[in-house]
Amino acid sequence: MKTETIQQVALVTGGSRGIGAATCVQLARAGYAVIVNYAASQATADQLCQSIQAAGGTALGLQADVANEAQVLALFAAIDAKFGRLDALVNNAGVVDMTARLDEMSMARWRRMFDINVIGSLLCAREAVRRMSTQHGKQGGAIVNLSSAAAKLGSPGQYLDYAASKGAIDTFTLGLAKEVAAEGIRVNGVRPGIIDTEIHASGGLPNRVAQVAPQVPMQRGGTADEVASAIVWLLSDAASYVTGTTIDVTGGR
Ligand code: NAP
């Protein structure tokens, strides 16, 4: 008897660049159909989708600002229409801001930081749980939230608002994991250390990886691929008894 294998579907928020893009490539190689979400960089997302497809994978670029509820609902509706299921969510979209002390920061900065890093992750997880939970008659699934070593280090004098937003992600990972553990959904986190991506330039520190590397026990920054490997493992059946955990990928920092 011939059995048809159903292709698993994964959504990576902020999948167009950096850690998200590396995760999309590795998930496609592992056989997932991958949704490459982005906020603004459509050309970069399209290019990534084309290269995944050229390698025999399935990828679809979809725009949505994760901090905008209407756009997130439209994103998930588009996934429903195209694939009819969701098996994996990587809450990867995240932002930093310019180096500043708390007494120099504005309310607008905190709103943007928490709206994208925290509310965006909650929103996408809510929509994913509705499409994964056995309580909703679905097949189960796995979620990975991107935290940061900053959640443990606090980032004083640099961006403690960012560190606090990632601390919230650690607690969210723990709570949601316990809430949906009996509903076929595993929820875990990854805490990257200093990783070579464009995020540092967006915070005004393009040379940050080289500057911080001497403080890392392994004496170097990490690569997006090294973080993606941990994410993909947590999503896989190889991690079938792992939930509520956040893994440090920090070179020992
Ligand atoms: P990155 O290179 O700056 O890429 C960020 C990605 O997020 C881009 O695809 C960007 O899309 C997307 N994005 C930003 N705002 C968004 C929004 N509102 N809605 C949807 N997508 C949005 O960042 P990265 O270094 O790969 O970081 C990825 C994650 O790892 C983040 O959560 C970050 O906090 C965390 N992390 C990174 C490091 C590090 O050293 N790199 C360390 C610890 C934790 P557009 O280009 O379209 O804006």
Beta-sheet strand order (sheet of 9-12) = 58-63, 33-38, 9-12, 88-91, 141-146, 185-192, 246-249
Q: Residues lining ligand 1, judged by CB closer than 6 Å?
A: 13-14, 16-20, 37-41, 65-67, 92-95, 116, 146, 148, 192, 194-195, 197-199, 202
Ligand 1 pocket: which of 11, 12, 17 to mutate (most atoms <8 Å of CB)? 17
Instruction: Give the distance, in angstroms, between the CA of residue 118 and the centroid of all CA atoms in the same chain.
Output: 11
pTM: 0.98
pLDDT value for 4: 73
pLDDT digits (tens, 9 = 90+) for 83-121: 999 999 999 999 999 999 999 999 999 999 999 999 999
Please name which of 196, 191, 188, 237 lies closest in space to residue 213, comparing C-alpha atoms. 196
Domains and CATH numbers, the chain: 9-249 (3.40.50.720)
Tokens 């959904």 — which residue? Answer: 185
pLDDT digits (tens, 9 = 90+) for 187-213: 999 999 999 999 999 999 999 999 999
